[in-house]
Amino acid sequence: MAEKQKCTMAFAPATVANVACGFDVLGFAIYGLGDRVTASFKDTPGVSIKSIIGDEGRLPLSVKENTAGLAVLSLLEELETPPKHGIELSIEKQMPLGSGLGSSAASSVAAVVAVNALLGNPFSKKNLLPFAVAGEMAASGEAHADNAAASLLGGFILVKSHRPPDVIDLPTPEKLHCTIIHPDIEIQTKNSRKILKKDVSLEKAVKQWGNLGSLIAALYTNDYELIADSLHDEIIEPVRSLLIPGFDKMKQAALDAGALGCSISGSGPSLFALSSSREAAEIIGIKMGDVLKSEGLSFEIHISKMNTEGAQIIKNTL
Amino acid sequence: MAEKQKCTMAFAPATVANVACGFDVLGFAIYGLGDRVTASFKDTPGVSIKSIIGDEGRLPLSVKENTAGLAVLSLLEELETPPKHGIELSIEKQMPLGSGLGSSAASSVAAVVAVNALLGNPFSKKNLLPFAVAGEMAASGEAHADNAAASLLGGFILVKSHRPPDVIDLPTPEKLHCTIIHPDIEIQTKNSRKILKKDVSLEKAVKQWGNLGSLIAALYTNDYELIADSLHDEIIEPVRSLLIPGFDKMKQAALDAGALGCSISGSGPSLFALSSSREAAEIIGIKMGDVLKSEGLSFEIHISKMNTEGAQIIKNTL
């Protein structure tokens, strides 16, 4: 069977969701971190996961328990003609798990992009989103499209609605850089969601939609000052930041070093800070790291421009 | 005293606040309805209101109880040099009171624009906003800048924060038209605010900021379909619409007649519907009116393009 050796490999980037003022609706993608998934045909029917590298043995190889596996099953269900052969996936994580950087979304997105290419692209890129989101259900128990949409499409995205996922591409100002600091602790999205209150005060909700609205206006007008004025979160950050040692000091250090804004990436524990130059992004990283050093915590820093490309096929031997 | 005869007259338009998904943060101005305020010097010191026309005797002539009077007092307090003469205002309402169309904001805005011109424009137009908002305090007990900002500046505006008022001019798609229906009942803003719950569910708040974000994206990209997809309000409208007879039927009639969206204007009882042509706006008005006719209520209909100019000096004899 000649088709057995054919494979496609996709890379899907890590992502920052929420972005301070956009809980569950905003996200953007970064460079340098993400997941690779290789898809190939196999003789036996169905989907299987051959291997997972980079997860320290923590992710399930069972397709129905794995976000990437579930995403691919969801895609296959929507095909008019089922593929003649089974599909085998190999997952290579190039980013930390439970970091707040959309690890499960990156796996789901890379898997559906790789499999779509393997099958001769029956779906457009944007139409892969519902499958990736279905995969994410396995990780958080809820379907949130913010990480998956940013990882798939790149740049800044707004999730207008989650079911079905409806996403708007927002412009990404050219000079924007992101500093990520990932403290060496882990927070499960499920737990990070449980501690949130079910209600918010109307007063704070109004402030939040003012800030979200102005951030979107700022992205369309390349207004870095307005971006800085908009990156506030009085609803989620005050609760979730309690789980992150040194959060307030790190945020202050980032702002003092010239960050446009700084908040929790997704459900944490990573923080992101935005700035308008690579130099600023690097200094911000050093200053935030100094705080964690004084807390006695180890950490990783990542500096990146906004990733405006999203998921990509990086190998195709069909 | 020659200065006694000199006067300035300003017109400030009626406005639609909230705009479905933007409670307390969005507003736009319309043509055809609004307030005129004439300002002139007088021999005696201080500010006085000479006359109010069009209010059926319901608005206070006492400066400290009148929104326009309070707005002007607020402006005068910020002057480095107090004016040599007193100032007399004449107010002419060309719009209904308690209609949800920003009646008090129109008075405040017209007053500060007229007095600013009378004094030789010590303030830029945008810097008049805090004075107009201070005037509005008298009407609602709270300072909300959405009506005042839209009336002053025209077009679509986003209020990023209320204290101090910080406002962003949003683009106004060229083809947008507005249908206003004003049922012949009256709702006081104070009462309309009291019936709102102090908390909202996080789930609904997330939906709302998704819709607000997408509306702003739609205004920047002239995307009428996305405007239609965004004009939803699951938080305020379900509560306030209970005060408006025939609301659900009017809204449905507007949507059936091709409206992009329809909701309550400000705190009601007026409804607004947006559409992408004058023809559509007129048909929508007829269909909404048919509903109120069948309810046995009298009403007024106004059709307008978006007013992108805002408040204007319409007479200056200095």
**Mean pLDDT of residues grouped by 10 in chain B (318 residues)?**
73 97 96 97 94 91 93 95 93 92 95 97 96 79 85 96 85 97 81 84 93 97 96 94 94 98 95 98 98 94 97 94
Does A128 score more than 80 pLDDT? yes
Q: Give residue B13's Cα distance to chain centre.
A: 7
Distance (Å, whole) CA B142 – CA B187:
16
Residue A19: the pLDDT is 97
At A189, the pLDDT band (50, 70, 90 cuts) reads: low
Residues with Cβ within 8 Å of residue B50, at least 6 apart in sequence: B88, B89, B90
Please give the Cα distance from A152 to A149 (Å, whole number). 5
Q: How confident is the model at residue A317 (pLDDT cuts 50, 70, 90)?
A: very high
B216 touches A: beta carbon within 8 Å: yes
Within an 8 Å CB–CB cutoff, is residue B229 touching chain A?
yes
What residues contact residue A82 under an 8 Å CB cut-off, 6+ apart?
Answer: A76
List the structure tokens of B16: 């639609």
Q: How far is B82 from chain A (nearest CA, A)?
A: 34
**Reported confidence tier of residue A140, pLDDT bands at 50, 70, 90:** low
pLDDT tier for residue A256 given thresholds of 50, 70 and 90: very high
Q: Which conformational region is residue A234 in: left (phi greater than 0), alpha (psi within -120 to 50 degrees), or beta?
A: alpha
Between B163 and A7, residue with greater pLDDT: A7
Of the candidates A161, A214, A220, which has its C-beta nearest B160's C-beta? A214
Task: Tell me what ipTM this predicted complex has.
Answer: 0.89
List residues bridging with A78 in a β-sheet.
none
Please tell me whether residue B75 adopts helix, strand or coil conformation.
helix
Report yes or no: A140 at the B interface, CB cutoff 8 Å.
no
Question: What pTM was estimated for this model as a whole?
Answer: 0.92
Q: Model confidence at A1, in pLDDT bands (50, 70, 90)?
A: very low
Catalytic: which of B38, B136, B172, B179? B136
Q: Which helix (H) or strand (E) holds B133?
A: helix B129-140
Closest to A234 in 3D by CA, of A201, A189, A191:
A201
Q: Are A20 and A121 in contact (CB under 8 A)?
A: no
Looking at residue A180, what is its pLDDT?
A: 98
| Residues of chain B found within 8 Å of residue A216, distances taken between Cβ atoms | 213, 216-217, 220
Angle subtended at Cα A239 by Cα A238 and Cα A242, rounded to the nearest 5 degrees: 90
- What are the angstrom distances between the C-alpha of A17 and each of A124, A151, A176, B32, B108? 23, 10, 16, 44, 42
First-to-last C-alpha distance (Å) of chain A: 13
Q: Nearest CA to CA, how far is A163 from chain B (Å)?
A: 11
Task: Check residues A247 and A192 and name the one with the higher pLDDT.
Answer: A247
Q: A219: closest CA among B220, B174, B229, B171?
A: B220
Measured between beta carbons, which residues in chain A are less than 8 angstroms from residue B202? Answer: 23, 196-200, 235
Burial of residue B243, with CB atoms counted within 10 A of its CB: 0-12 exposed, 13-18 middle, 19 or more buried: middle
Tokens of B279: 């023809």
pLDDT of amino acid A2? 45
Strands (E), B19-105: 26-42, 47-53, 86-94
Burial label for B311, CB within 10 Å (0-12, 13-18, 19+), is buried
pLDDT at A138: 64
Residue whose C-alpha is closest to residue A95's, from A74, A112, A109, A114: A109
DSSP annotation of A306 reads B
Average pLDDT over residues A23-27: 95
Residues of B within 8 A of A208 (CB-CB) are 205, 209
Distances in Å between the alpha carbon of A101 and those of A22, A38, A77, A250, A291?
15, 21, 28, 18, 21
Could you give the dihedral angle defined by the CA atoms of residues A263, A268, A270 and A273, in that order, rounded to the nearest 10 degrees?
Answer: -10
pLDDT at B2: 45
> Is residue B189 among the annotated active site residues?
yes
Q: Say what percent of chain A tops pLDDT 70.
A: 96
Which of A192, A198, A202, A230 to substitute to test the interface with B, most B CBs within 10 Å?
A: A202
| Residue A147 confidence (pLDDT) above 50 | yes
Contact B67, B55 (CB under 8 A): no
Asked which of A81-90, A170-179, A217-226, A276-285 is least confident by mean pLDDT, the reply is A81-90
Burial label for B254, CB within 10 Å (0-12, 13-18, 19+), is buried
A23: confidence class by pLDDT, cuts 50, 70, 90: very high
Provide the shortest C-alpha distance from residue A106 to chain B (in Å): 23
Task: Work out the angle at residue B200's Cα, subtended by the Cα atoms of residues B195 and B205, and round it to the nearest 5 degrees.
Answer: 130
**CB of A112 less than 8 A from some CB of B:** no
Helix (H) / strand (E) containing B251: helix B247-256
Residue B15 annotated as catalytic:
no
Q: What angle do CA B285, B287, B289 make, to 5 degrees?
A: 65
